[in-house]
Structure 1
């Protein structure tokens, strides 16, 4: 794959069945368009894991609302197990969907500082967990603890990617839940 900027499309989960299929956590609003047989994804995996630098999609289907993907390079369950945690990426140039003012890619959010509506520093965005009902921002608090912040307008009224910050208005106790441990 190229050195062009890349976007996260999915994160591989556990194997499914015996023919090398894996479950994935999708990070795209249009999986039907992204998961097409023959598509080549760049991979990002733990060093030394043996995961190929690119995977060619062989099959894509949904099973109980979970996407199952199979790859040409992975013929069986043993190979599929080694893919767990691998991130599937595409070049930004390949993304032709129109900009969505209400949507953000994980790569755009990670590293942004997090402040309250009053301007108090909270921490830094370290990830985005996508869910069926709502997404969650993963925030490393200034204390070092991790907080999951519902990524909804009522709690995250402003995302300023260019300014490098996310403004949150957390309900009482949301951040403190993560402080006690």
Structure 2
């Protein structure tokens, strides 16, 4: 299914609500079916072991839709992980599965739970806050996470605000921390991302903010890196 911006939607595999994303296949490596992997885990030695089974998030029109693949071997070339799977025998097969997102089942997650890992559904309903305008002040609530969208390039948090939904790239530069127990997602948004919602909540006119006090707290915030990983995935 194509989205309005021309991107093809890749539905999440139906492998259980508690599944965890562990990587994305980025490009073929060599002629024997190797694939470079963007890791979404700090523990690849635990996740990418021979015999590990991965559910695939790919577009519905992909020949890999609804299938799983089995880990054969994970190697490192120039400090980059390269995965080999039983079902991917050559470069042609590898090219057909590029951009697939890898998921593991909840049972596999429970066997080796990572301290800083979350399930995507745990983020829904969390408050989204930024740091206070003044040192020592209370964090400023911007909205609530309504949904997590998994796109091929990066993940997006859909944040409900007083002025409407805001799409927040789920990258470390913008979402530096998530505290599930406290129910908070902390963001350092670039200038303009939440301006309309903040103007709505403080009763100011959006144009007045644009001409005057456009949130100086945002001015020195890093812009998202193109194609950044999600989770934040660093």
TM-score normalized by the length of structure 2 = 0.56
Match of 1:97 among 88, 112, 129: 112
For the 8 Å contact 2:24–2:39, the answer to whether it is kept is yes
After superposition, where does 1:63-142 map in structure 2 within 5 Å?
A: 63-95=77-109, 96-98=111-113, 100=115, 103-105=116-118, 107=120, 111=124, 112-117=126-131, 118-121=139-142, 124=145, 126=148
Query: Residues 145, 174 of structure 1: CA spacing in aligned structure 2 closer, same or farther, 3 A cutoff?
Result: farther
Kept in 2: contact 1:110–1:127 (CA 8 A)? no
Deviation at residue 74 of structure 1 after TM alignment? 1.1
CA RMSD of aligned residues (A): 3.6
| Alignment-derived partner of residue 5 in structure 1 | 18
1:16 corresponds to which residue?
Answer: 29
Question: SS of the residue aligned with 1:114?
Answer: strand
**Alignment partner of 1:150 out of 173, 184, 188:** 173
- Please state whether the residue corresponding to 1:82 is helix, strand or coil: helix
More strand by share: 1
> Unpaired runs of 5+ in structure 2?
1-13, 132-138, 190-216, 225-234
**What is the CA-CA distance between 1:163 and the residue it aligns to?**
6.3
1:37-69 per-position Cα deviation (integer Å, ceiling 9, x unaligned): 222111111111111510011221011111101
Shift of 1:81: 0.9
The equivalent of 1:59 in structure 2 is 73
Map of 1:161 onto structure 2: 180
Match of 1:31 in 2: 44
**Deviating more after overlay: 52-61 vs 21-30:** 52-61
How many equivalent residue pairs?
Answer: 165
Task: Confirm or deny: 8 A CA contact 1:137 1:151 kept in the other structure.
Answer: no
* Distance of aligned partners of 1:71 and 1:162 in 2 relative to their CA distance in 1, 3 Å threshold: same
TM-score by length of 1: 0.70
Structure 1 residues 43 and 61: alpha-carbon distance in aligned structure 2, compared to 1, 3 A threshold = same
Stretches of 4+ moved more than 6 A in 1? none
Query: Between Structure 1 and Structure 2, whose CA radius of gyration is higher?
Result: 2
Q: Displacement of 1:21 after TM fit?
A: 0.6
